[in-house]
Amino acid sequence: MSSSDKKSSFSLTIKDYPKLTGKADYLTWAKSWQWAFKSAKLWPIVSGEKVKPEVREEGKSSDSTVKTAAEWEEENTQAMFLLIQGVSSTLQPDIVSYETAAEAWQAMKDRFDKETPNTDIISLKNVLLNDFKIRQNIADHTTNFENAWNRLATGSKQATDNKKSFLYITKLMCESEEFKGAVYIASLMDTHLDLCDTLATREQRDYVDVRDFFLSQAADKAETKEDDRALFVPRKDQRKKECTWCKARGFKWDNHITSKCHKLRREKEKK
């Protein structure tokens, strides 16, 4: 699969994405392919947000409606092709039994996105083994990490007072911002060891500080137009970020927003 958008700085190929085999890999598969479909601008088709316009009998529909319907058919065909390629051979008959990509996607979700006795263990695995992948960028990796962490944290809220239970231990883990930051750093050590070493010399260990450090490095790479996909953040994302509090005080302000400003947070804590 290749993105035809000339503004895209990289291309996507089917082999870069996982194949769905069952419940064990559904969560990773769904999130990976969601990003793939968004990059290819097909997610509105797959999610069902974009529906096929109703075309009346010949001569009774406007030209624009007919054209829009034809475009929808083409995009749905592309999405169905990718879904077929994105699942194992045993699941392909299930995909082709549907007429639309939205129906096929929902069918896989209904079948595999269910709580099982191993759901919490799988959630922990997705957090601890969520290493940075080559050809990914820091912004996408961070989003994937936070999604996996939030899913684990949600499950751990069911913990009892049994201090030896799995959920109790994961609950304590998820409540620690410093531990969260450590796991995030660990996910980047194989590919960004120099930056991890630089960060280790600082006193800032909480997740927000760690995350902002890497996103700041990514923004600087993009600003200097260095060809480093691992640290690339799209310019459109940079323009959205502005911390008015830091800007007014002469601090770096264009790599985060006011509500996420750790400097402002510390100032409030001192008062």
DSSP letter string, the chain:
-----TT-SS---GGGSPPB-SGGGHHHHHHHHHHHHHHTT-HHHHHTSS-PPPP-STTSS-HHHHHHHHHHHHHHHHHHHHHHHTB-TTTHHHHHTSSSHHHHHHHHHHHH----TTHHHHHHHHHHT----TT--HHHHHHHHHHHHHHHHHHHTT--S-TTSHHHHHHHHHH-HHHHHHHHHHTTTTT-HHHHHHHHTSS--SHHHHHHHHHHHHHHHHHTT---GGG---HHHHHH---HHHHHTTS--TTS-GGG-HHHHHHHHH-
Domain ranges across the chain: 14-112, 119-234, 241-271
For residue 45 the two structure tokens come to: 């088709």
Q: What is the pLDDT along the chain (271 residues), one digit of tens a residue?
A: 544 443 344 455 677 788 898 877 888 899 889 989 998 999 999 999 998 887 666 655 566 777 888 899 999 999 999 999 999 988 999 999 999 999 999 999 888 887 666 777 878 888 888 888 776 788 888 888 888 888 888 878 877 778 778 888 888 999 999 999 999 999 998 888 888 888 877 777 899 999 998 888 877 665 555 544 445 444 344 445 678 878 777 777 777 777 778 778 877 777 6
pTM above 0.85, yes or no: no
